[in-house]
């Protein structure tokens, strides 16, 4: 890279006319002005394009306008489109993808919460608004990945009217998680959103592209445009408020009813799609593109022998070819460069030898550290085992003396004692009872951590719930428990029956115990699939928990956060221990006086 930098600097010195006049360049966006294209606006208003010797005209898109056609017809030099550009390439169109801005596609399937469409399995028989080159491929791939036949989907033309999924004209639609979801929620509509990436359909989002002719004949302009655009995106993601205010001044933005609040929401959502602090702007992976190509093949949209050769722009190779072309014009400069390189290579060899020796020493040192850490890990595991065994033996050995002590206390006749002795005797009885309870709790905790869970079975969740409800029927009837459940999205689970019963029993009794004063307990239970987990959600309308204050202690033993109710504070600790032993996890959402929602993730092997 240093060699290329030296050549580039020398060429600029010899050819000062190269940037004497800005080169006109036209960029065609795929949609109207919005934060989706913030990086290009930033590159323009912050002078990045100007510094690169480019005079860039940014043209917004609109319905039924294809950025690919605009570029190939010569109406634009560069364009912004989606991963479906790969389809244009497989059809023989001379396009090249230059860089990926969105590392994850923003397309999601949006529906009214009333429709209860929470997984791809719910697509069957539903009318879904979609459009070519606007997320339809991801929708089909999502259905196939989930096992939903494509002929069971009712795909209708997208009207781009969000209210159509609210007023019943359609059940769902494709859209952006950063735009349409906000617009609907801002109007007070509750919506469900299904992300294809949660089911392994992980397409790139917006990509920059150009024609093969543009890239091959004007590699210098292509490279300068990309560098300036990527710099603009880095600035935009660090300064969203400034760019939002600029977008509000662009033609048509206010007229469409767009607000600063909507644009800032879009900017926040885009951070998880662009990953600006994780991935270099514009980064692309040939492996990712091959994965996308494989999905197209499974959808019979591309021939099985189709490859990626010639589709992905090799920025480094193009830059090197461009520099070589210029270097040939000024061959005389090579002699100077070679002289500099010779001197540099000598110093570089010395530096390499020195650095190699340092690295070898570092490798030896780290190997010693790793050996020490491994030994320490084994020692800690052994001590932990010894500590658990000690605790178990101590609890077990103390049980007999405490039992004897309780028996001896029963032999005393308190009626013949003085009032003071009777008071002291009562305190002794209480202390012994508390000590006995503490030993029982300790045994329960150690047993939960030590014993093996019962073998996994295929369980019908509704049947197991009815079994648990029978065990608490008196309490449920006495408290007028109002229980609703829906297991249609995931009716069965591979799990230990003991663990599932423990989870249901503890969460239901907690919901009854911590209900709102003066009201009947209300509990809803439902399930859904998420990746390779069955997720059991238990939601109540009780007094809730202050998680800001108690989150760190929620799943630890002997923690109680409300006074005036019975309990030892062990239930949540025990079910968390049991769930984690079977490869799952548990999460909680709660606010004081607003109820609590527990989500228990049961890992499925198949």
Is the model more confident about 51 or about 457?
A: 51
Coil, strand, or helix at residue 301?
Answer: coil
What letters, b where the CB count within 10 A reaches 16 and e where it falls short, cover 573-604? bbbbbbbeebebebebebeeeebbebbbbbbb
Domain count, the chain: 4
Which of 199, 230, 252 terminates a domain? The answer is: 199
Is the model more confident about 380 or about 522?
A: 522
Residue 143: what pLDDT? 87
Residue 81: what pLDDT? 94
How many whole angstroms separate alpha carbon 544 and alpha carbon 588? 11
215 in a domain, yes or no? yes
- List pLDDT tens digits, range 501-514: 989 998 998 889 88
> What angle, rounded to 10 degrees, do the helices at 136-146 and 286-298 form?
70
Strands (E), 164-271: 172-176, 191-194, 207-211
State whether 563 and 586 are in the same domain. yes
335 in a domain, yes or no? no
State whether 186 and 264 are in the same domain. no
Unique residue bearing structure tokens 């000062």: 16
- List pLDDT tens digits, range 516-544: 888 999 999 999 999 899 999 999 999 88
State whether 418 and 467 are in the same domain. no
332 in a domain, yes or no? no
Residue 574: HSE in the Cβ half-sphere, 13 Å Cα cutoff: 25
> Does residue 280 register a pLDDT over 80?
yes
Q: Which residues contact 328 (CB under 8 A, 6 or more apart)?
A: none
Coil, strand, or helix at residue 308?
Answer: coil
State whether 410 and 287 are in the same domain. no
How many whole angstroms separate alpha carbon 4 and alpha carbon 279? 24
Least confident of 16-25, 102-111, 299-308, 457-466: 16-25
Coil, strand, or helix at residue 259?
Answer: coil
State whether 558 and 544 are in the same domain. yes
> Does residue 445 register a pLDDT over 60?
no
The answer to whether 468 and 476 have CB atoms below 8 angstroms apart is no
Residue 36's nearest CA partner among 96, 106, 128, 97 is 106
State whether 149 and 242 are in the same domain. no
State whether 484 and 593 are in the same domain. yes
The answer to whether 406 and 432 have CB atoms below 8 angstroms apart is yes
The answer to whether 284 and 204 have CB atoms below 8 angstroms apart is yes
Q: Which band of pLDDT confidence, cut at 50, 70 and 90, is reported for residue 563?
A: low
Element (H, E) at 483: strand 482-486
What are the structure tokens assigned to 359, written together?
């690295």
> What angle, rounded to 10 degrees, do the helices at 419-450 and 332-411 form?
140
224 in a domain, yes or no? yes
Concatenating the DSSP letter of every residue in 80-96 gives EE-TTHHHHHHTT--EE
How many whole angstroms separate alpha carbon 223 and alpha carbon 4? 14
Residue 264: what pLDDT? 93
Q: What is the mean pLDDT of residues 192-215?
A: 92
Q: Which band of pLDDT confidence, cut at 50, 70 and 90, is reported for residue 35?
A: very high
Q: Which residues contact 67 (CB under 8 A, 6 or more apart)?
A: 28, 29, 30, 61, 76, 79, 80, 81, 209
Residue 396: what pLDDT? 47
- List pLDDT tens digits, range 321-338: 555 555 555 556 777 876
- Quote the Cα angle for 38-44-47, to 5°: 130
Is the model more confident about 575 or about 46?
A: 46
How many whole angstroms separate alpha carbon 312 and alpha carbon 461? 49
C-alpha separations of 565 from 482, 506, 516, 541, 545 in Å: 20, 15, 12, 17, 14
> Does residue 379 register a pLDDT over 90?
no
How many whole angstroms separate alpha carbon 494 and alpha carbon 497? 9
State whether 126 and 231 are in the same domain. no
How many whole angstroms separate alpha carbon 150 and alpha carbon 141? 9
Q: What is the mean pLDDT of residues 346-356?
A: 79
Concatenating the DSSP letter of every residue in 338-398 gives HHHHHHHHHHHHHHHHHHHHHHHHHHHHHHHHHHHHHHHHHHHHHHHHHHHHHHHHHHHHH
- Quote the Cα angle for 238-243-225, to 5°: 80
Indicate which CATH number applies to the domain containing 126: 3.40.190.10
Residue 571's nearest CA partner among 525, 505, 512 is 505
334 in a domain, yes or no? no
Residue 160: what pLDDT? 86
The answer to whether 95 and 109 have CB atoms below 8 angstroms apart is no
Residue 267's nearest CA partner among 304, 242, 301 is 242
Residue 413: HSE in the Cβ half-sphere, 13 Å Cα cutoff: 2
Q: How much is the pTM?
A: 0.51
338 in a domain, yes or no? no
Residue 300: what pLDDT? 87
483 in a domain, yes or no? yes
Q: Which residues contact 132 (CB under 8 A, 6 or more apart)?
A: none
Is the model more confident about 575 or about 239?
A: 239
Which of 451, 479, 497 terminates a domain? The answer is: 451
Residue 562: what pLDDT? 62
410 in a domain, yes or no? yes
Helix (H), strand (E), coil (C) string for 517-542:
CCCCCEEEEEEEEECCEEEEEEEECC
State whether 225 and 95 are in the same domain. yes
- What strand order describes the sheet that includes 482-486? 482-486, 522-530, 533-540, 596-603, 585-590
If you ran DSSP here, which 8-state letter would residue 454 be given?
Answer: P
> What angle, rounded to 10 degrees, do the helices at 219-238 and 240-247 form?
110
Number of CB atoms found within 10 A of residue 365's CB: 10
Is the model more confident about 131 or about 132?
A: 131
Least confident of 146-155, 268-277, 441-450, 576-585: 441-450
Residue 342: what pLDDT? 66
> Does residue 600 register a pLDDT over 60?
yes
State whether 53 and 123 are in the same domain. no
Indicate which CATH number applies to the domain containing 474: 3.30.565.10
State whether 437 and 581 are in the same domain. no
Q: Which band of pLDDT confidence, cut at 50, 70 and 90, is reported for residue 19?
A: very low
Least confident of 275-279, 312-316, 527-531: 312-316
**Rg of the chain (C-alpha set):** 33
Residue 495's nearest CA partner among 464, 467, 517 is 464
Domain of residue 555, residue span: 456-603
List the beta bridge partners of residue 247. none
The answer to whether 510 and 565 have CB atoms below 8 angstroms apart is no
The bridge status of strand 95-100 relative to strand 207-211 is antiparallel
If you ran DSSP here, which 8-state letter would residue 284 be given?
Answer: -
Q: Which band of pLDDT confidence, cut at 50, 70 and 90, is reported for residue 370?
A: confident
C-alpha separations of 154 from 149, 171, 192, 525 in Å: 11, 10, 19, 30
> Does residue 448 register a pLDDT over 90?
no
Residue 134: what pLDDT? 74
The bridge status of strand 191-194 relative to strand 456-460 is unpaired
Indicate which CATH number applies to the domain containing 415: 1.10.287.130
Q: Which residues contact 582 (CB under 8 A, 6 or more apart)?
A: 453, 456, 495, 496, 499, 602, 603
- List pLDDT tens digits, range 69-95: 999 999 999 999 999 999 999 999 999
- List pLDDT tens digits, range 386-440: 555 555 445 445 555 666 666 666 777 777 777 887 777 777 777 766 666 555 5
Mean pLDDT score of the chain: 84
The answer to whether 173 and 110 have CB atoms below 8 angstroms apart is yes
Q: Which band of pLDDT confidence, cut at 50, 70 and 90, is reported for residue 316?
A: low
Which of 179, 199, 219 terminates a domain? The answer is: 199
Residue 204: what pLDDT? 92
How many whole angstroms separate alpha carbon 537 and alpha carbon 598? 6
Percentage of the chain modeled with pLDDT above 70:
81
Element (H, E) at 128: strand 127-130
Residue 250: what pLDDT? 96
Residue 397: what pLDDT? 52
The answer to whether 599 and 537 have CB atoms below 8 angstroms apart is yes
Residue 17: what pLDDT? 41
- List pLDDT tens digits, range 144-187: 888 888 888 899 999 889 999 999 899 999 988 888 999 999 99
State whether 289 and 239 are in the same domain. yes
């Amino acid at each position: 890279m240093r060699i290329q930098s030296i050549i580039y600097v020398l060429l600029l010195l010899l050819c000062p006319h190269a940037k004497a006049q800005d080169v006109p360049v036209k960029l065609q966006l795929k949609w109207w002005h919005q934060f989706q294209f913030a990086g290009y606006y930033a590159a323009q208003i912050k002078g990045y394009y100007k510094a690169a010797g480019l005079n860039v005209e940014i043209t917004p898109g609109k319905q039924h306008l294809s950025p690919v056609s605009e570029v190939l017809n010569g109406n634009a030099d560069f364009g912004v489109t989606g991963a479906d550009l790969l389809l244009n390439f497989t059809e023989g169109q001379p396009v090249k993808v230059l860089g990926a801005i969105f590392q994850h596609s923003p397309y999601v399937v949006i529906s009214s919460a009333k429709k209860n469409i929470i997984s791809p399995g719910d697509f069957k028989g539903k009318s879904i608004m979609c459009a070519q080159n606007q997320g339809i491929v991801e929708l089909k791939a999502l259905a196939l990945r989930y096992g939903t036949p494509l002929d069971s989907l009712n795909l209708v033309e997208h009207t781009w009217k969000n209210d159509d999924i609210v007023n019943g004209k359609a059940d769902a639609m494709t859209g952006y998680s950063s735009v349409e979801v906000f617009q609907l929620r801002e109007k007070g509509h509750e919506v469900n959103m299904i992300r294809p990436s949660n089911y392994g359909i992980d397409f790139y989002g917006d990509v920059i592209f150009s024609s093969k002719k543009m890239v091959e004949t004007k590699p210098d302009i292509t490279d300068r445009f990309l560098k300036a655009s990527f710099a603009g995106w880095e600035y935009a993601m660090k300064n969203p408020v400034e760019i939002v205010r600029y977008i509000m001044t662009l033609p048509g933005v206010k007229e469409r009813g767009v607000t600063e609040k909507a644009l800032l929401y879009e900017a926040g959502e885009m951070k998880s799609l662009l990953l600006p602090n994780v991935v270099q702007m514009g980064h692309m992976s040939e492996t990712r593109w091959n994965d996308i190509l494989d999905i197209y093949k499974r959808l019979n949209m591309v021939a099985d022998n189709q490859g990626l050769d010639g589709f992905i722009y090799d920025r480094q190779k193009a830059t090197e070819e461009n520099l070589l072309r210029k270097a040939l014009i000024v061959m005389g400069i090579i002699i100077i460069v070679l002289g500099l390189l010779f001197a540099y290579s000598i110093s570089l060899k010395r530096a390499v030898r020195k650095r190699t020796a340092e690295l070898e020493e570092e490798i030896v040192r780290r190997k010693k550290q790793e050996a020490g850490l491994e030994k320490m890990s084994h020692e800690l595991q052994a001590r932990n085992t010894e500590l658990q065994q000690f605790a178990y033996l101590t609890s077990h050995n103390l049980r007999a003396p405490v039992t004897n002590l309780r028996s001896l206390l029963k032999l005393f006749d308190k009626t013949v004692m003085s009032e003071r002795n009777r008071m002291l005797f009562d305190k002794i009885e209480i202390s012994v009872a508390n000590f006995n309870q503490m030993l029982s709790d300790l045994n329960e905790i150690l047993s939960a951590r030590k014993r093996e869970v019962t073998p996994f079975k295929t369980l019908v969740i509704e049947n197991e719930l009815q079994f648990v409800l029978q065990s608490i029927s008196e309490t449920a009837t006495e408290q007028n428990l109002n229980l609703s459940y829906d297991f249609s999205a995931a009716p069965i689970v591979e799990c230990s029956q003991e663990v599932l019963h423990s989870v249901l029993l503890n969460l239901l009794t907690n919901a009854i115990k911590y209900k709102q004063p003066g009201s009947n307990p209300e509990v809803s239970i439902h399930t859904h699939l998420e990746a390779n987990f069955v997720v059991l959600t238990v939601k109540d309308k009780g007094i809730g928990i202050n998680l800001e204050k108690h989150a760190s202690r929620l799943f630890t033993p002997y923690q109680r956060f409300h006074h005036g109710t019975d309990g030892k504070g062990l239930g949540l600790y025990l079910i968390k221990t049991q769930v984690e032993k079977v490869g799952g996890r548990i999460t909680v959402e709660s606010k004081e006086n607003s109820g609590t929602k527990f989500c228990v993730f049961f890992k499925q092997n198949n």
